[in-house]
Structure 1
């Protein structure tokens, strides 16, 4: 059996997406949006996609295939797969989700397009389109027409329109490809126009749309391909309709084998989204920020000055009850497969800081279509009040511990940052009394953290106010500007964290038992946080070497998941993970030689 891996290629259009494996199979993809029912669920069924019984996939298989070569069309999420058989026959498959401007708005349908071209000899192919519904069971019916096949689910019917022989597709027969074939799996409506010409136009327009977006990025001199691919994939993680940014495109890829640390990441964490827009801002991708700020304003309005959850649905849903999908065995059979995430019920006080930090730029940046003003500041002050009220109260922390709470230094520092940035915004608006008010609040929180979290004996900041825990999030005291890199307290904390949590070239989040025992895999973003800190504390060569090591761990698509086995180097956790992509962008921008170096 060929075990599934995370060596997957994402395609998408900011409405739907799919993950394509190294054989060219669609093995994961949800409709009508990222948190929906998996139309392609093979990745989570615990079976070999090549087996005759496999479900939840869309495969186009070349008879006697011996190699599949894959790459993205430059500066796009459009995948080109070249299949070569034992006799030299070959086809080229182009996979994409249409996305372009049409009639003054963005066309991003719940649709997938594939083009199959014969490029050598007389290739013979077999297509299997076996969608699933109800999170893993087969679709109820399939009805054929002269040029289409319909796939009916409870609340959605999709239609495959094609110029390939429909009867051969329905019976999954092998046939010779003698001309380009076109496939459009989308809404159950008549396909208007010539399918070949229309899909080719969609491909051209989608290519141009993505390449124009990339053209506007302010990329560093070095590692440009790394940054561009990470930025494109981060944009794929935004549900463009609302501006929400999901943490990953998958659910329930375990953190390590047999761990049951299987979580659904297809939702918008306030924390993860903050780091995403922060990274994309460094590249000048303001469209993602603007859309996300619109999403955040709705969240803040709904809260009415009250509790902010750590995560919400992509439409702003507050209730995300967690349940198990019984028809999905899990990645490599390692269930459970969870739908929903009970962490929405948790108390995580750092969210208040992330909301303020995400919004602060809108008061200063004249490039934005909608700059923030006094009314927005009043709404943010209500968020700041919550930060002040709860800065020294226990919470589940950024790692979302499910069975215990502590006063976490990271959460307190984020609450400090909320007050500090509100003071900056008040100064920008000329509100002197409010500026003084928030300056005093920030000063008070700082004193509380410095007193409660500092450990004089070992000379480091603890992860909690009540112990001597080490946590990689302490490195973020630098990024938050709570401490400068030359502060002996930060240097002592960095040394302690590196000694206690570094495993070779990788960083653990923490090394103490949690709800599921001792963690076994390293958390990729923590390694990128370490790289940043090494650079700022004068160890730039070490930082560059460690960054190159992390880049060598990427999939063929140039991406990373959430976790990595520090011994084997195997990727684990949900994929592609926004934290990890953010880390690659931030470190590349930080470590790159300046553009003036080429002059």
Structure 2
């Protein structure tokens, strides 16, 4: 049965997922949101049996496997053992390193295999299917390669393994190291083993150097490093976009139609990602994203923004269903595209302004903010003022209803608040006064309309009575101070209403699909942050440790979790969840000085 006990490899152009048996079960080419030529995760295939839409390395009579990342890298090491004393090591990665003053990141997967002991016998099953698993490729062979051809693209496997055995999926004795390089239809410029070794060494060194540049906390270093690398793998570096997750249609819970395509850039999610990266010192990725949203703002002449864009700024990413794929564990539908791009989500204006604020205050930026960027952001501020008290789909993207959501209103306030601060920073006193006045006016209205005196708490909609987890962010975005008694009361109300065991639901009210069945992982991290802000530090640390124990064996988290069983659900790996982990670790860790 499929599970989310998966490892991720990638290079900011492509990414792939590999299970504990070293089967590649998900991968899109030639980019993160491309054709899912490996879709075994969604097609019901069983790696090692049918293998359709997968790339498996099956050890004959396998009985055990071990898996871990090489330290401080995105290189996945799997050791497979058979019942006769045989063992093999598999190193999986996508090449990434500096070359000719740029980052070399081709759509290429490298699998290095070597025998460790005994006489292991290996079977290679390589069965890509094109058009998201709809069609089989035409297959041709050469002396050291196999080509998989479709009308849209061609993949080439170059290898020093016996080509006939690979084509026939016939087991062979692994008595020497072999390399499998799968990517575009290009010939190698050097020998196979030499090329694979060079790509491996350069990629390993690149990741180690990248990690070395991070400002990590004293405690939970491995967790933070792993989460940071995962966020980087969700970065489409060519344009600067950051995808919400690398998969589509992993259901939020068993037997639900909540199956969505997350291989796009939500402006809200991406703001939280770069906010976390700023704490880590990841300025290059932050600058790339600011360039991405700068182009979006430039395109939006009237200031209107969509909540989600394709990774090359496509505004139209219409949703369709792939009826030929049964889905994860047979739970469909499998979707490509996301109709959220048509929704009104008014928090988007605050998300973009908050992200762009870094350009005006962070001295590390090579492209600092200027009056031209400020004038562009002012157009978004005008939109925010007009939209803050208007109904929208809200942060949870409700498809069948609309309301004036408190989070959306607060983010519109945040747009005005940050514009005032930016204007003051760049010496525009008149504009600073204008936006401060607008922010103060919105703040007063939100305080009145979103506060429920009977419940003694802020609530999720104006004049409403329901709770949702975004209320935990009222201090994070500076709408309320941590010592404001209304914040403490709201945190307690959220906990009473939404907490289940060690996790929190995003909301418990019935929506278009009924009541949510699983907890939303980021919500517990928001709660932990709120506890820390309230001075309940030990309680926050204890809960953080508990949540860390629910990561998959490789330290990754998806979007959702069953609060009873602890099983992960939802698209994977979820940037929101990994951001929450980083933020909590940075907030809760002892300082380096305290540690010594």
User: Aligned to 1:159, what secondary structure does the other structure show?
Assistant: strand
- With normalisation by structure 1, the TM-score equals 0.99
Q: Is the 8 A contact 1:116 1:182 kept in 2?
A: yes
Q: Is the 8 A contact 1:135 1:327 kept in 2?
A: no
In structure 1, what is the equivalent of residue 208 of structure 2? Answer: 211
User: Aligned to 2:66, what secondary structure does the other structure show?
Assistant: strand
Q: CA deviation at 1:137?
A: 2.5
Q: CA deviation at 1:46?
A: 2.0
Q: Is the 8 A contact 2:321 2:336 kept in 1?
A: yes
State the Cα deviation string for residues 415-458 of structure 1 (Å, max 9, x = none).
00000001110001000000000000000100110111111122
In structure 2, what is the equivalent of residue 39 of structure 1? Answer: 37
Q: Is the 8 A contact 2:309 2:317 kept in 1?
A: yes
Q: 1:344 aligns with which of 341, 344, 347?
A: 341
Measured in 2, the distance between the counterparts of 1:72 and 1:326 equals 35
In structure 1, what is the equivalent of residue 261 of structure 2? Answer: 264
In structure 2, what is the equivalent of residue 127 of structure 1? Answer: 124
Measured in 2, the distance between the counterparts of 1:109 and 1:153 equals 20
- With normalisation by structure 2, the TM-score equals 0.99
Measured in 2, the distance between the counterparts of 1:306 and 1:249 equals 29
Matches within 5 A, 1:132-211: 132-211=129-208
Measured in 2, the distance between the counterparts of 1:403 and 1:154 equals 39
1:276 has 2:279 as partner: no
In structure 2, what is the equivalent of residue 255 of structure 1? Answer: 252
Q: CA deviation at 1:179?
A: 1.1
Q: CA deviation at 1:305?
A: 3.1
Q: CA deviation at 1:402?
A: 0.2
Q: CA deviation at 1:389?
A: 1.0
Q: CA deviation at 1:138?
A: 3.9
Give the unaligned 5+ runs of structure 1.
Answer: none
Measured in 1, the distance between the counterparts of 2:456 and 2:88 equals 62
Measured in 1, the distance between the counterparts of 2:197 and 2:222 equals 26
In structure 1, what is the equivalent of residue 5 of structure 2? Answer: 7
1:584 has 2:581 as partner: yes
User: Aligned to 1:492, what secondary structure does the other structure show?
Assistant: helix
In structure 1, what is the equivalent of residue 312 of structure 2? Answer: 315
In structure 2, what is the equivalent of residue 328 of structure 1? Answer: 325
1:115 has 2:144 as partner: no
Q: CA deviation at 1:459?
A: 1.1
Matches within 5 A, 1:23-62: 23-51=21-49, 53-62=50-59
1:421 has 2:418 as partner: yes
Matches within 5 A, 1:345-424: 345-424=342-421
Q: CA deviation at 1:128?
A: 0.3
Measured in 1, the distance between the counterparts of 2:557 and 2:14 equals 20
Worse-matched range after superposition: 335-344 or 490-499: 490-499
Give the unaligned 5+ runs of structure 2.
Answer: none
Q: Is the 8 A contact 1:219 1:589 kept in 2?
A: yes
Q: 2:292 aligns with which of 295, 309, 313?
A: 295
Measured in 1, the distance between the counterparts of 2:153 and 2:237 equals 20
Q: Is the 8 A contact 2:451 2:463 kept in 1?
A: no
Measured in 2, the distance between the counterparts of 1:412 and 1:327 equals 41
Measured in 1, the distance between the counterparts of 2:57 and 2:137 equals 23
Measured in 2, the distance between the counterparts of 1:416 and 1:596 equals 37
State the Cα deviation string for residues 191-231 of structure 1 (Å, max 9, x = none).
11111011101000001111111000000000000000000
Measured in 2, the distance between the counterparts of 1:337 and 1:482 equals 39
Q: Is the 8 A contact 1:140 1:152 kept in 2?
A: yes
Paired positions, count: 596
In structure 1, what is the equivalent of residue 86 of structure 2? Answer: 89
1:496 has 2:463 as partner: no
User: Aligned to 1:478, what secondary structure does the other structure show?
Assistant: coil
Q: CA deviation at 1:397?
A: 0.2
Q: 2:75 aligns with which of 75, 78, 86?
A: 78
User: Aligned to 2:490, what secondary structure does the other structure show?
Assistant: helix
In structure 2, what is the equivalent of residue 18 of structure 1? Answer: 16
1:538 has 2:544 as partner: no
Measured in 2, the distance between the counterparts of 1:598 and 1:409 equals 40
Measured in 2, the distance between the counterparts of 1:106 and 1:421 equals 34
Measured in 2, the distance between the counterparts of 1:583 and 1:363 equals 25
Q: CA deviation at 1:307?
A: 1.4
Q: Which runs of 4+ in 1 moved over 3 A?
A: none
Q: Is the 8 A contact 2:51 2:125 kept in 1?
A: no
In structure 2, what is the equivalent of residue 243 of structure 1? Answer: 240
Measured in 2, the distance between the counterparts of 1:576 and 1:219 equals 21
- The CA RMSD over aligned residues, in Å, is 0.8
User: Aligned to 2:16, what secondary structure does the other structure show?
Assistant: strand
Q: Is the 8 A contact 1:472 1:509 kept in 2?
A: yes
Measured in 1, the distance between the counterparts of 2:365 and 2:477 equals 24
State the Cα deviation string for residues 219-262 of structure 1 (Å, max 9, x = none).
00000000000000000000000000000000000010011100
Measured in 2, the distance between the counterparts of 1:596 and 1:151 equals 56
In structure 1, what is the equivalent of residue 95 of structure 2? Answer: 98
